[in-house]
Amino acid sequence: MWHLPKQLAWFGIGGFIGFIVDAGIVQLLVSKFGVDPYVGRLFSFLCAATATWLFNRQFTFHQRGDYTLFGEWSRYLVAMSAGFAINYVAYALAVHYSEFVRAWPSVGVAIGSVPGSAANFLGARQWVFSGPRRGGSAGDAKERENKP
């Protein structure tokens, strides 16, 4: 259990990286390429989720299930979908009701980030990165978890 504060801190750093990727890509797509902000956000989410998966698998969660890389990535995307749904609703409402956010969709990404983060952390911790590392046993994982 002592890992929880450390995991939350690392997850927050990964989330900030994801926010930069998400906001940067959606802003670029909308302002430079004229992409619809609702469609652009779907693409930017995919990029941001991939970036946070790479970060979180390396720094935040040291245990991994027995999945292939593609299996872990796709499981991570599914887990992040709940948080993204919450995030996207807040984003879409902000884009719809604010001319400013429509022009600067990165602001909408920020608005949606906070409510989706808790769902994302729980999904990642409890479902994607909950098992022992490949090649290790559940007992080995429990032993690693209890080491300071």
**How many structural domains does the chain have?**
1
**For 91-97, what is the mean pLDDT?**
96
Short-list 29, 55, 57, CA closest to 43: 29
Distance (Å) of CA 128 to CA 8, 66, 122, 131, 143? 15, 10, 9, 8, 20
Domain containing 57 equals 3-146
Residue 99 has pLDDT above 90, yes or no: yes
Residue 141 has pLDDT above 70, yes or no: no
Distance CA 120, CA 133 (A): 21
Residue 26 has pLDDT above 60, yes or no: yes
Per-residue pLDDT tens digits for 122-134: 889 888 987 654 5
* Choice among 2-11, 20-29, 72-81 with the minimum mean pLDDT: 2-11
Q: How many residues does the chain have?
A: 148
